[in-house]
Structure 1
Amino acid sequence: MSPHVTRRDLLLGAAAFGVPAILAGCSNPATRTTAPTSTAAAGRGVVTIGSNASDEIPKKSLDEVTKAFTSHDVKINTVDHNTFQENINRYLRGTPDDVFTWFAGYRMQFFAAQGLATDISDVWTEIGGDYTDAFKAASTGADGKQYFVPFTYYPWAVFYRKSLWQEKGYTPPATLDDLVALAKKMKADGLVPIAFADKDGWPAMGTFDILNMRINGYDFHINLMAGQEAWTDPKVKQVFDTWRGLMDYHQPAALGRTWQEAGQSLAQKKTGMYLLGMFVAQQFPEADRGDIDFFTFPEVNPQFGTDSIDAPIDGYMISSKAKNVEGAKQLLKHLGQASSQNIATKLDPGTLAASSKADTSGYSDLQKRGAELVSQAKHIAQFLDRDTRPDFASTVMIPSLQRFVGKPNDIDGLLKDIEKQKVNIFTS
């Protein structure tokens, strides 16, 4: 089966890791242990979760969701989100927790194929009726078995504050030329047009993704991520040339700024718009979240229009070295329930529930619009660092995109270096 989810109905049904010794010195893990509700529960032992939910709102969300899990004691080991992603391979080969937070699609399949994840097809026999076929496909390994339980998802789009746009008379652009004209107007109005940050290495991937899908189409983008297209192809150069043309409108000094700081600049009306996941809402005071709106990135090539978006799916897996496999499977069944996901989407305004049985009646206007955007997309990508090999994403693409952001004029040299490293990694 394809390692990528390509069907339009991917999300129609919904309108890291722990603290091994190798990481102890570079993070401050927050551990929360729920109290067992009975002697019998305590007797079944502890289920540990390795979590990348290090930001305040996602961290609180997981804490609340696991409090409702009463059949076992739960211990959550939380480390910084970026440290999690950069060390996941070493972690899973070392002494991992029973359950760990991870991503759907290619990255899930990669670790399943390495024998680093536990087959949870039996869990899916119980929860499968709550998910669309496409969500199941996103949770299935190349061997046809399931290794992942989807929990929440979120679309990437261009976010802005409605009140600021109404005040200035701005309207969402339909084409790239319209976007540039809007950015020029914002600049003349004393605003930084496009909030931007890449200190953490991954946010710039979203800009690359959307430009590549808008210019070259979804299929080319996914094949490039799979190592089947050359980075020296003129099509890829066009992506970087287009991006370079937008740099004058980006927030400067991006390599020294976190996505949270860029999100706060949007909330403070210092910047006009921000291409990011819907989780940007976490950086807005609760009283201002009703003022958030978005548009999908505009058309660049009429051949592809705006038919593709990034809408990553987050969820949970069981490591192959889990000490409490039965308890871990019980926890995944709990996390797969609509009631659990309802708790999460209520606490976290930047997420949507993966279960088709989730209660969406309490969704904010932003969440309803996000679900609608995803349901209308023809193609759903999982995000660059989830649609390609993890080693290629972390060792090649993070430094390469940061190199481009810092010095965007040597595109030819950059692409030759990426292609050389890609060949070494994908043929090893």
Structure 2
Amino acid sequence: MKQPAFLLPRLGRRSFLLGSLGVTAAAAVGCSGSVDYTKVVTVGSDQSDDAPRKAFAEMMAGFTAHETKVNTVDHETFKEGITNYLQGRPDDVFTWFAGYRARYFAEKELVSDISDVWANVEGMPESMKNASSTTDGRQIFMPMTYYPWAVFYRPSLFAERGYSEPKTFDEWMALNQQMASDGLIPMAFAAKDGWEPMGTFDMLNLRINGYDYHISLLAGNEAWDGDQVKKVFEVWAQMLPYAQEAALGRTWQEAAQSLLQKQSGTFLLGMFLQQQFAASEEAKDDLDFFIFPEIDPAIGADVVEAPIDGFMMAADPRNLQGSRDLMLYLSTPEAADIIVAADPSRIAASSLADQSNYSALQKKAVKVIEEAKNISQFLDRDSRPDFASTVIGPALQAFIRDPGNIDSILDTVEKQKHFLFTS
């Protein structure tokens, strides 16, 4: 099938990195035979930003049963190149996410069944076990942390301007109008890497069409060119005039800086946004959020997007016992406590983790998750990797570039979906 122009691959540094991802793991620990792979556990990590990379190193230092070698790759490069990575000679253990994509790799026999490890796991909630399992009940993923997606803002700015948290979409739009009148950018926005606007699509679809439809759509069972999806983009088009301009050239970190500097009023993102506030003594505790407001009272606002991060084990690890031992360590509250203490933008998956030092923001996030009726992962975790990365990401960027062309964009998405999900 011929790809439309907005889906054609772009060559450059990223393309080179994607092609080379499968061999970087071997390069990281040496290919000369000087490494005894039966004694070293290799770990592939996508924790490339400064704060999570530091936290990851501290957590790995707590595992002393075996020597480890960590291979860190740029987060987006790792995510987009994961299939080639797994089909080559991957690290023994690697960072990944719960959801459709984890199960997809299990179905393709690219990862190990770790049910035997789970038999010794303590303190992990049943919901986390379910999120880590295949449809036939095998455990293939070890969760460590999670974080909600929400609409973040600086309480001091809201107090200065007399703003209050909106409870409905109409109230939010009225707040956006007021912020614009006050000379603020109502909504910080980034779309450079394609995944950032997926969060906006997810929340709009969940609020307009509901959780069951959302999951079915991402699984390829609904029409992307149908009225229900078009309604999502119609509502999104109403929001775009309030969004930060030139989003296609902006990273989430750059958008977060506009919120930090009080140039923007709100930012829909994951709680990892807090990483950009951590270095500021003036602002590090000046961050709060409200959940994405209700749009349809019949649907409500009781679904929260809360991606679960964790680890998977390669289908054929060089150090099998070391890999199992590491996976069990990664399930412990001690490991999660190190990550969360170093990076408070996360919440531990283990119910045994220490919450005594959680910030007000973390405690609020825990409460929101506990009260949620359903929890979604994220578009690029709840759908096929090739569909999310090569079809939906570019399609959302095309919509942001030209919102009046949505019929043509969705027609192309539906054709691509049919090809990928039936091939």
TM value normalised by structure 2: 0.91
SS at match of 1:272: strand
The residue that corresponds to 1:82 in the other structure is: 76
Q: Is the 8 A contact 1:20 1:96 kept in 2?
A: no
Task: Classify 1:73/1:273 alpha carbon distance in 2 versus 1 (closer, same or farther; 3 Å).
Answer: same
Aligned-partner Cα distance in 1 for 2:20–2:159: 47
The residue that corresponds to 1:155 in the other structure is: 148
**Equivalent of 1:183 in 163, 171, 176:** 176
Amino acid at match of 1:319: A
Q: Is the 8 A contact 1:53 1:79 kept in 2?
A: yes
SS at match of 1:77: strand
Q: Is the 8 A contact 2:144 2:331 kept in 1?
A: yes
Amino acid at match of 1:323: R
Give the C-alpha shift of residue 24 in structure 1.
Answer: 6.1
The residue that corresponds to 1:7 in the other structure is: none
Moved more, 203-212 or 314-323: 314-323
Aligned-partner Cα distance in 2 for 1:192–1:32: 47
The answer to whether structure 1 residue 23 and structure 2 residue 17 are counterparts is no
**Equivalent of 2:251 in 258, 263, 284:** 258
Q: Is the 8 A contact 1:192 1:249 kept in 2?
A: yes
The residue that corresponds to 1:73 in the other structure is: 67
The residue that corresponds to 1:362 in the other structure is: 357
Aligned-partner Cα distance in 2 for 1:21–1:208: 26
Give the C-alpha shift of residue 23 in structure 1.
Answer: 2.1
Q: Is the 8 A contact 1:232 1:415 kept in 2?
A: yes
In the comparison of the two structures, how many residue pairs are matched? 401
SS at match of 2:91: coil
Task: Classify 1:31/1:246 alpha carbon distance in 2 versus 1 (closer, same or farther; 3 Å).
Answer: same
SS at match of 1:383: coil
The answer to whether structure 1 residue 245 and structure 2 residue 238 are counterparts is yes
The answer to whether structure 1 residue 134 and structure 2 residue 96 are counterparts is no
The answer to whether structure 1 residue 271 and structure 2 residue 268 are counterparts is no
**Equivalent of 1:236 in 207, 229, 243:** 229
Aligned-partner Cα distance in 1 for 2:37–2:103: 34
Q: Is the 8 A contact 1:102 1:316 kept in 2?
A: yes
The residue that corresponds to 2:341 in the other structure is: 346
Sequence identity of aligned pairs in percent? 52
The residue that corresponds to 2:317 in the other structure is: 322
Give the C-alpha shift of residue 107 in structure 1.
Answer: 1.0
SS at match of 2:309: strand
Give the C-alpha shift of residue 321 in structure 1.
Answer: 2.7
Q: Summarize the alignment of residues 22-421 of structure 1 with structure 2, pairs less than 5 Å apart.
A: 22-23=19-20, 45-127=39-121, 129-284=122-277, 285-287=279-281, 288-421=283-416
Aligned-partner Cα distance in 1 for 2:337–2:194: 31
Aligned-partner Cα distance in 2 for 1:332–1:57: 22
The residue that corresponds to 1:12 in the other structure is: none
Aligned-partner Cα distance in 2 for 1:43–1:212: 46
Q: Is the 8 A contact 1:282 1:350 kept in 2?
A: yes
Give the C-alpha shift of residue 326 in structure 1.
Answer: 0.9
For 1:152-172, what per-residue CA distance to the aligned partner results, in whole angstroms no more than 9, with x for missing partners? 000000000010110000001
Q: Is the 8 A contact 2:23 2:89 kept in 1?
A: no
Aligned-partner Cα distance in 1 for 2:343–2:194: 23
Amino acid at match of 1:104: A
Task: Classify 1:238/1:22 alpha carbon distance in 2 versus 1 (closer, same or farther; 3 Å).
Answer: closer
Give the C-alpha shift of residue 228 in structure 1.
Answer: 0.8
Task: Classify 1:383/1:30 alpha carbon distance in 2 versus 1 (closer, same or farther; 3 Å).
Answer: farther
The residue that corresponds to 1:6 in the other structure is: none
Aligned-partner Cα distance in 2 for 1:422–1:58: 34
The residue that corresponds to 1:39 in the other structure is: none
For 1:202-226, what per-residue CA distance to the aligned partner results, in whole angstroms no more than 9, with x for missing partners? 0100000000000111111111001
Give the C-alpha shift of residue 21 in structure 1.
Answer: 9.5
Aligned-partner Cα distance in 1 for 2:251–2:354: 33
Aligned-partner Cα distance in 1 for 2:21–2:115: 33
SS at match of 1:342: helix
Q: Is the 8 A contact 2:305 2:375 kept in 1?
A: yes
Q: Could you tell me which runs of 5 or more consecutive residues in structure 1 were left unpaired when the two chains were aligned.
A: 1-18, 34-41
Q: Is the 8 A contact 1:30 1:78 kept in 2?
A: no
Task: Classify 1:293/1:21 alpha carbon distance in 2 versus 1 (closer, same or farther; 3 Å).
Answer: closer
Task: Classify 1:260/1:293 alpha carbon distance in 2 versus 1 (closer, same or farther; 3 Å).
Answer: same
TM value normalised by structure 1: 0.90
For 1:294-321, what per-residue CA distance to the aligned partner results, in whole angstroms no more than 9, with x for missing partners? 0001110111111112100000010113
SS at match of 1:289: coil
The residue that corresponds to 1:3 in the other structure is: none
For 1:39-63, what per-residue CA distance to the aligned partner results, in whole angstroms no more than 9, with x for missing partners? xxx9951101111111111111110
Moved more, 350-359 or 286-295: 286-295
Amino acid at match of 2:147: Y
SS at match of 1:130: coil
Give the C-alpha shift of residue 200 in structure 1.
Answer: 1.2
CA RMSD of aligned residues (A): 2.1
Aligned-partner Cα distance in 1 for 2:379–2:62: 34
Moved more, 155-164 or 21-30: 21-30
Q: Is the 8 A contact 2:58 2:338 kept in 1?
A: yes
Q: Could you tell me which runs of 5 or more consecutive residues in structure 2 were left unpaired when the two chains were aligned.
A: 1-15, 31-35
Give the C-alpha shift of residue 145 in structure 1.
Answer: 1.1
